[in-house]
Amino acid sequence: MRKISLASFIVTVAILSIIIGIGTPPYVHAKARFVTIGTGGVTGMYYPTGGAISKIVNMKKKQYNLKVTVESTGGSVSNINLVMSGDCDFGIAQADRQHQAWNALAEWKKKGPQKDLRTICALYPESLTLMAGDDTNIWCIKDLKGKHVNIGGPGSGMRQNSIDVLTYVGLDYQKDMKSEEIKSLEAPKYLLDGRIDASFITIGHPSANIKETTSGRRKIHIVPITGIDGLLKKFPYYAKCYINMKHYPMATNKEDKVPTFGMKATLVTSTMVPEDIVYAITKELFENLDKFKSLHPGFESLTRENMLEGLAIPFHDGALRYLKEVGLVK
């Protein structure tokens, strides 16, 4: 048997490695990429929405060499800050919070304009929902005067929505009522235990949080929010909407729909996230929209067109590339 020299062996191994490499998909050798979506409390809409996005995109994880995970957070403000710091790659945030961060308003007055923040798409409408105990005599928003009210936890979009509407109707949340800053996850037990009279939450419907609150031992109703045309003119990202009471049969409301206002929940990212990653997520979300809509009843009204409405800041280049390719944006 002829002996093979060490040099010949090394050359042979190198050639075989090249041949094998040519026939192997590039993602096998590439390092897996992990990205995180900041969401919200586990009983709200943000958490299952992040989970639905991750499920859709992870179906092609080998193709994109990409794994999407979700993180429970404090909500819109927290998500924007996490995205801007790089601690999360994506986040779900209300459209009004996009506007405020971009223009250095509200929580971003001291930080300055967040000009590296980018949008991908709108996801679904969110409604400011006011729940109150039947024993509190709260039947309209002005009845909150002198009451014990949860306006939303720090870092949540609903806190600012609550303050906006209270200010508009002439109520000072610090002087005219005893206000609490309870996270949406904890609010139902406070309301059901009688420790507060009413609680705001900005959320998509149907909501597990509201089902829990209206199905407990205390009789609860959803309070209509009306007479706010001036508020909608002042803040153009707000719009009138209705809460369909078929989702909450244990609430004591007699009407089929309760009027209120709201805005779009949106998917945001930053310029730090690579274009190809944002392109992949945008493409999979839009091209699997029917599958995405089947994952939660709150997505039932989504269309490719209305997912581009109510956005307050520029698109990420990756999202824009896909949207131009399919003719949704010129």
* H helix intervals, the chain: 6-22, 26-29, 46-58, 61-64, 76-85, 95-102, 157-168, 187-192, 208-214, 229-234, 275-287, 289-293, 317-325
How far apart are alpha carbons 243 and 200 in whole angstroms?
Answer: 14
Task: Tell whether 102 and 142 lie within a shared domain.
Answer: no
- Residue 9 maps to a domain: no
Low-confidence residues of the chain: pLDDT under 50: 1-4, 6-7, 9-29
pLDDT at residue 256, as a whole number: 96
pLDDT at residue 32, as a whole number: 86
Global confidence as pTM: 0.75
Task: Tell whether 118 and 236 lie within a shared domain.
Answer: no
- Residue 62 maps to a domain: yes
How far apart are alpha carbons 239 and 232 in whole angstroms?
Answer: 6
- Residue 7 maps to a domain: no
What domain range includes position 186? 126-263
Task: Tell whether 170 and 319 lie within a shared domain.
Answer: no
CB 54 within 8 A of CB 69: yes
Q: Which amino acid is at 72?
A: S
Long-range contacts at 105-110 (CB < 8 A, ≥ 24 apart): 106/160, 107/77, 107/155
- Residue 330 maps to a domain: no
Task: Tell whether 77 and 140 lie within a shared domain.
Answer: no
pLDDT at residue 21, as a whole number: 47
Task: Tell whether 152 and 251 lie within a shared domain.
Answer: yes
Helix (H) or strand (E) holding 234: helix 229-234
Non-local (6+) Cβ contacts of 40 within 8 A are 46, 47, 72, 73, 74, 75, 76, 79, 92, 156, 184
How far apart are alpha carbons 52 and 70 in whole angstroms?
Answer: 10
How far apart are alpha carbons 119 and 97 in whole angstroms?
Answer: 12
CB 261 within 8 A of CB 238: yes
| Number of domains present in the structure of the chain | 2
User: What's the pLDDT tens digit per position in 11-62?
Assistant: 444 444 444 444 444 444 467 899 999 999 887 889 999 999 999 999 999 9
Which two tokens mark 271? 């310029």
CATH number at residue 194: 3.40.190.10
Helix (H) or strand (E) holding 223: strand 220-223
pLDDT at residue 153, as a whole number: 86
pLDDT at residue 31, as a whole number: 79
CB 300 within 8 A of CB 292: no
| Dihedrals phi, psi of 128, to nearest 5 degrees | -75, 115
pLDDT at residue 106, as a whole number: 87
